[in-house]
Amino acid sequence: MFALLACSSMRAATVTGVLINATRDSSVVPAATIHLLAMTAQSNFPAFIAATTTNNRGEFRFNIAGVESSATYFAAVDHEEVRYFSEGVDLSAKGAVDISLAVYDSTHSTADVHALMHHLIIEDLGDRVKFREIRVLHNPKGKTITHAFVDEQMGAALFQFLLPAGAINFASQSGSELTQHLNYALDRGVFLPGSKTVSYAYEIAMPQKSLDVAIHATHAAQTVDLFIRGDNLVIESQQLIDKGMFDIRGALHHRYGAADIDAGATIRFRMQRVGRASNAPSPAPAIIVTSVFLVLATAVSILRRKKTAPREPSAGRQQSKSRTKK
Residues 122 and 217 in one domain: yes
* pLDDT for res 304: 65
Q: How far apart are CA 19 and CA 121, in angstroms?
A: 44
Show which of 104, 128, 163 is a domain's final residue: 104
Do 84 and 147 lie in a common domain? no
Can you give the pLDDT at residue 318? Answer: 47
The CATH number for 184's domain is 2.60.40
User: What's residue 311's pLDDT?
Assistant: 55
| Band of pLDDT at residue 24, cut at 50, 70 and 90 | confident
Do 202 and 166 belong together in one domain?
A: yes
* Average pLDDT for the chain: 83
Convert the pLDDT of each residue in 241-292 to its tens digit: 999 998 888 888 999 999 999 999 999 999 999 876 555 555 555 556 556 5
Looking at the structure, do residues 138 and 266 belong to the same domain, yes or no? yes
Question: Is there a single domain that holds both residue 118 and residue 265?
Answer: yes
Do 163 and 219 lie in one domain? The reply is: yes
CATH number of the CATH domain containing 25: 2.60.40.1120
Residue 322 lies inside a defined structural domain of this protein:
no
Q: Which residue has the higher pLDDT, 93 or 184?
A: 184
Task: Please indicate, yes or no, if residue 64 is contained in any of the structural domains.
Answer: yes
- Asked if residue 260 and residue 157 are part of one domain, the reply reads yes
The answer to the question of residue 303 being in a domain is: no
Residue 214 pLDDT exceeds 60: yes
**Of the candidates 69, 104, 139, which is a domain's last residue?**
104
Looking at the 3D structure of the chain, how many domains does it have?
2
Does any domain span residue 175? yes
326 domain residue, yes or no: no
Does one domain contain both 100 and 173? no
Higher pLDDT, 317 or 185: 185
**Does residue 201 lie within any of the structural domains?**
yes
What per-residue confidence (pLDDT) applies to 159? 85
Q: Which domain holds residue 177?
A: 114-273
Mean predicted confidence (pLDDT) in 2-11:
48
pTM of the model: 0.67
Structural domain ending residue among the three candidates 42, 73, 104: 104
Residue 171 domain flag: yes
| The pLDDT value given to residue 305 | 65
179 and 222, same domain (yes or no): yes
| 139 within some domain | yes
